[in-house]
A and B are shown apart, each in its own frame.
Chain A
Amino acid sequence: MSAVAARATPLLEVQGVSVRFGALLALQRVSLEIHPGEILAIIGPNGAGKTTLLNVISGFYHPYEGRILFQGRDRTRLRPPEVAALGIARTFQNVALFKGMSVLDNIMTGRLLKMRSHFLLDALWVGPAKREELRHRAVVERIIDFLEIEAIRKTPAGRLPYGLQKRVELARALAAEPTLLLLDEPMAGMSVEEKEDMCRFILDVNQEFGTTIALIEHDMSVVMDISDRVVVLDYGRKIAEGPPARVRTDPAVIDAYLGVPHA
């Protein structure tokens, strides 16, 4: 898949992006490309700047130098809602669901950007509003079926075990029907079985919906199993990039993970 993806024009390009928090350089001139249809893993030791990179892509932070192009157009300065409207959805490292709302309603919020109708019509639930809700509900139900969470449709999200909350978060991100899906540690804190399930769902999403996926992950076996390409960050720099098998044997990567002192 990576071979096919490499020939196409990149879906997203990060060009020489640097991010600074006070004196701390979180990202230093990082460049990478995400190709349509691929699963890209971003790995690196703690504090390497992985989440910062995701936050830059999704518009939470703006780089002080460098550019971000999505589908060939510069959108370095966009804010999160505008990024989302472009078709980039994400999940968070710490689960960020509406705990008191049902799973169904949580996932429906993923459709908000696509809702058009008027609040008055919504309140009365007539005409276009009704048709629209049914349409959105149909999309959401397809995702519920896809992620096998039928049994918890009506359960308040806060009552679910952690692994399921992560799955609901993925469902909400999918509800936006994104072109690019950013997953920040989708498997953190999961049991082996939950991880296996999640891997399968990520692969299925990629294959079934054709969604391009960039994910941050620590579990190397997961990364090796599911990603087409891997980008390795260390101290805010990109130190390696390539297919998982090659990256794993890259001396710079081994150094970074084994903690060789930096000059």
Chain B
Amino acid sequence: MLGHATGGAHTQQALDPELDTFPKLVRRNATRWPRKVAIREKDLGIWQTYTWRDYFEQARLIALGLAALGFRRGDKVAIVGDNRPQLYWAVAATQALGGVPVPLYQDSIEQEMAYIVDHAGARFAVVEDQEQVDKLLHVRDRCPRLEHIVYEDPRGLRAYREPGLLGLDELVERGRKFGEDNPTYFDEEVARGHADDIAIICYTSGTTGQPKGAMLSHRNLIVTAMNAVATEGLGPDEEGFAYLPMAWVGDHMFSYAQSIVTGFAVSCPESARTVLQDLREIGPTYFFAPPRIWESILTGVMIRLEDAARPKRALAHACLRLAQDLERRRLRGQPRPLWKRLLLPLAHLLVLDPLADNLGFRRIRIAYTAGEAIGPEIFVFFRALGVNLKQVYGMTESSALISIQRDGEVRLDTVGTPLPGVEVRVTPEGEIVYRSPGVFQGYYRNPEATRQTLEDGWVHSGDAGFIDAQGHLKIIDRARDVGRLADGTLFAPKYLENKLKFSPYIREAVCVGHGRPWVAALINIDAGAVGNWAERRGLAYTSYTDLAQKPEVYELIRQEIARVNRSLLEDEVLRGAQIRRFLILHKELDPDDQEITRTRKVRRAYIAQKYAPLIEALYSDREHVPVEAQITYEDGRTATVRANLRIRDAETFAVAAAS
């Protein structure tokens, strides 16, 4: 299935040299919209707002502070913490001085942090709090180039006497002084910046091997942001929500690049635990979430629904069913019965609108899902609520964006058409390759990986897919993950896993089957949803492992798998790959154990190796398999968990039943 699609001519877009870097654009925003809100943060229970003038002024002072510490052009600055205005300013400040910010995942364990800080050769780190400072201090001897650690929140750090440790307030003070002594320094440094300077190095989590640092230039990010903004009709009055890790290119594109290019405001939640409450208070118009967030929101809704009184629950389910049925028909281009369409406004009035309001989705004009394929059921649910949820495809190496579903062209099974300037091709092997103004400048200090990925300006995405008759891009799976059963039946593990994960009771799933007679699944239950379900049935349990191994829970999951198997009948290509046997894992898959990436992508090769005895047991006729597992705590310590896991057969459906 070959194909080729473009979103318009591929040209080197000319940028105004006065506006060709982010610091220059921030300065423009400060002049154009001095009083307009640029960024908010909930602090001490109150939304603190900062205007574009504040944004610029703070970034300037931080830059001057860094300069006072001896910052040189080209220096790397590690940025670690939750989404905080101060950290975004630090990104702009670094860029203003011709340095390169390197954002890190705030939940990285010490080894990961040491690797990236050392690999990037960061001389400075700007971090949120004591937790991050502690981690950096612990690995300092492995990062010889790291000289200065600047922290935003001084709490717990007053007694620290380590050299090179400095509070952000003090840095800003020094910056103020430095600025008085060198009044033209900042503007001169900003003026030396150029569109083709490296704006950021984003380390990709990678499902295999060590992280790779993708270098993106100002031009990459600005042109990609401008193209997306124009295509989607985003304006300066959007409200964004900055809550995904700053280390992830998606957040950098939406909360930094697009916000600065367009001038719209973003809001940072108070803490990771208050994200959903803060979301409701802000009511964003422009919202981005990977499938796992949409899933967890949906799971939350379903749990609360199950706890509602019976008449309310029945009404809610009836309205949701009606709206979802209509939405599904619309997406498939099937006729929508008149009586259902007439009832829809009532469903909106009674259930859908209040629910959307409760979730903070009432004002959304555009919502995206990306990073992974989303379960069609999850997708339909939110669209039925009236959320304009669209699929986006992209990766770090493309400055986050390759294709977007245009309004009115939203479909279940594609990721839309390429953005302007983006060309997409499918290789004879079925791999998607692309070329665009957003294509990265290579991996930092890794020419070998760069050579493998980047060929004559075309990037190998590593995804298998095709371009359909309407020019829509369809992703099947990671190219190397798509396999065949022993009898040759096509097997796409992620496709199955996403279907499984639509169940509120299933948090994570790993399907195996390549070269095997049939498909088997390792299931992770959702502790919240299954715990709630068990409580309502008076089912006592002591721990996650205990709950996971209850026969009742196995029966519950068995029904969920039967649902997935039945729905597979609709797909002509994949209907042969139904799940035959499964087990429920004793522990949650965790990035600290390297089983999934920090963006929650399953690391198949690692799991296949780590859980090899379990997988063998699945393909034997045994009903139990003992397991012993190392788990890693957040502080890096490890412990061992032992359990005896059950294995059960799943219900499968004959193909004939469907036709």
A160-212 residues with Cβ-Cβ distance < 8 A to B are 200, 203-204, 207-208
Tell me if B609 is interfacial: C-beta within 8 Å of chain A. Answer: no
Tell me if A246 is interfacial: C-beta within 8 Å of chain B. Answer: no
Do the beta carbons of A151 and B45 come within 8 Å of each other? Answer: no
Chain B residues positioned under 8 Å from A142 (CB to CB): 44
How distant is the Cα of A204 from the Cα of B271 in the complex, in angstroms? 19
Do the beta carbons of B277 and A144 come within 8 Å of each other? Answer: no
**Stretch in contact with the other chain, from B56-64, B154-162, B223-231, B522-530:** B154-162
Interface string of A133-169 (1 = CB under 8 A from B): 0000110011011101011010000000000000000
Do the beta carbons of B273 and A151 come within 8 Å of each other? Answer: yes
How many Å from the CB of A45 to the closest CB on chain B? Answer: 29
Do the beta carbons of B158 and A208 come within 8 Å of each other? Answer: yes
Do the beta carbons of A150 and B156 come within 8 Å of each other? Answer: no
Do the beta carbons of A144 and B156 come within 8 Å of each other? Answer: no
A124-140 residues with Cβ-Cβ distance < 8 A to B are 137-138
With contacts A146-B155, A207-B159, A208-B155 taken as known, whether A141 is within 8 angstroms of B271 at the C-beta atoms is no
Do the beta carbons of A144 and B45 come within 8 Å of each other? Answer: yes
How distant is the Cα of A142 from the Cα of B271 in the complex, in angstroms? 14
Tell me if B295 is interfacial: C-beta within 8 Å of chain A. Answer: no
Interface string of B256-272 (1 = CB under 8 A from A): 00000000000000110
Do the beta carbons of B155 and A204 come within 8 Å of each other? Answer: yes
How many Å from the CB of B493 to the closest CB on chain A? Answer: 34
B41-64 residues with Cβ-Cβ distance < 8 A to A are 42-46
Chain A residues positioned under 8 Å from B44 (CB to CB): 138, 141-142, 144-145
Chain B residues positioned under 8 Å from A208 (CB to CB): 155-156, 158
Is the contact region of chain A dominated by helix, strand, or loop, or is it mixed?
Answer: helix
Do the beta carbons of B274 and A151 come within 8 Å of each other? Answer: yes
Do the beta carbons of B273 and A150 come within 8 Å of each other? Answer: yes
With contacts A141-B44, A141-B45, A150-B45 taken as known, whether A207 is within 8 angstroms of B156 at the C-beta atoms is yes
Chain A residues positioned under 8 Å from B277 (CB to CB): 151
How many Å from the CB of A15 to the closest CB on chain B? Answer: 33
Residue on B with the closest CB to A192?
B633
How distant is the Cα of A200 from the Cα of B437 in the complex, in angstroms? 49
Do the beta carbons of A150 and B274 come within 8 Å of each other? Answer: yes
Chain B residues positioned under 8 Å from A153 (CB to CB): 45
How many Å from the CB of B585 to the closest CB on chain A? Answer: 21
Number of interface residues of A (CB under 8 A): 16
Residue on B with the closest CB to A208?
B155
Do the beta carbons of B270 and A150 come within 8 Å of each other? Answer: yes
With contacts A138-B44, A142-B44 taken as known, whether A150 is within 8 angstroms of B158 at the C-beta atoms is no
Chain B residues positioned under 8 Å from A148 (CB to CB): 271, 273
Interface string of B270-289 (1 = CB under 8 A from A): 11011001000000000000
Residue on B with the closest CB to A140?
B45
Interface string of B19-52 (1 = CB under 8 A from A): 0000000000000000000000011111000000
How distant is the Cα of A142 from the Cα of B44 in the complex, in angstroms? 6
How many Å from the CB of B313 to the closest CB on chain A? Answer: 21
Chain B residues positioned under 8 Å from A138 (CB to CB): 44
How many Å from the CB of A203 to the closest CB on chain B? Answer: 8
How many Å from the CB of A5 to the closest CB on chain B? Answer: 15
Do the beta carbons of A207 and B271 come within 8 Å of each other? Answer: no
Chain A residues positioned under 8 Å from B271 (CB to CB): 148, 150-151
Residue on B with the closest CB to A104?
B45
Chain B residues positioned under 8 Å from A200 (CB to CB): 156
Residue on B with the closest CB to A138?
B44
With contacts A150-B270, A150-B271, A150-B274 taken as known, whether A204 is within 8 angstroms of B156 at the C-beta atoms is yes
Chain B residues positioned under 8 Å from A144 (CB to CB): 44-45
How many Å from the CB of A13 to the closest CB on chain B? Answer: 27
Chain A residues positioned under 8 Å from B159 (CB to CB): 207
How distant is the Cα of A128 from the Cα of B158 in the complex, in angstroms? 35
Chain B residues positioned under 8 Å from A204 (CB to CB): 155-156
How distant is the Cα of A137 from the Cα of B45 in the complex, in angstroms? 10
Residue on A with the closest CB to B269?
A150
How distant is the Cα of A153 from the Cα of B270 in the complex, in angstroms? 12
How distant is the Cα of A94 from the Cα of B273 in the complex, in angstroms? 27
How many Å from the CB of B132 to the closest CB on chain A? Answer: 15
How distant is the Cα of A150 from the Cα of B155 in the complex, in angstroms? 16
Residue on B with the closest CB to A201?
B156
How many Å from the CB of B566 to the closest CB on chain A? Answer: 39
How distant is the Cα of A216 from the Cα of B274 in the complex, in angstroms? 33
Chain A residues positioned under 8 Å from B155 (CB to CB): 146, 204, 208
Residue on B with the closest CB to A148?
B271
How distant is the Cα of A208 from the Cα of B44 in the complex, in angstroms? 17
Give the interface centre of A138, A144, A148, A151 by most chain B CB atoms within 10 Å: A151
Interface string of B159-170 (1 = CB under 8 A from A): 100000000000
Give the interface centre of B44, B159, B274 by most chain A CB atoms within 10 Å: B44
Chain A residues positioned under 8 Å from B156 (CB to CB): 200, 203-204, 207-208
How distant is the Cα of A151 from the Cα of B276 in the complex, in angstroms? 10
How many Å from the CB of B541 to the closest CB on chain A? Answer: 16
Interface string of B137-169 (1 = CB under 8 A from A): 000000000000000000110110000000000
How distant is the Cα of A96 from the Cα of B277 in the complex, in angstroms? 27
Residue on A with the closest CB to B633?
A193
How many Å from the CB of A228 to the closest CB on chain B? Answer: 13
Residue on B with the closest CB to A154?
B277
How distant is the Cα of A148 from the Cα of B272 in the complex, in angstroms? 10
Identify the B interface with A (CB < 8 A): 42-46, 155-156, 158-159, 270-271, 273-274, 277
Q: List 15 A-B contacts (CB under 8 A).
A: A138-B44, A141-B44, A141-B45, A144-B44, A144-B45, A145-B44, A146-B155, A150-B42, A150-B271, A153-B45, A200-B156, A204-B155, A207-B156, A207-B158, A207-B159
Q: State the 6 A-B residue pairs at the shortest beta-carbon distance, nearest first.
A: A151-B273, A141-B44, A141-B45, A151-B274, A150-B270, A204-B156
Extra pairs beyond A141-B46, A144-B45, A146-B155 (13, CB < 8 Å) = A137-B45, A138-B44, A144-B44, A145-B44, A148-B271, A148-B273, A151-B274, A153-B45, A200-B156, A207-B158, A208-B155, A208-B156, A208-B158
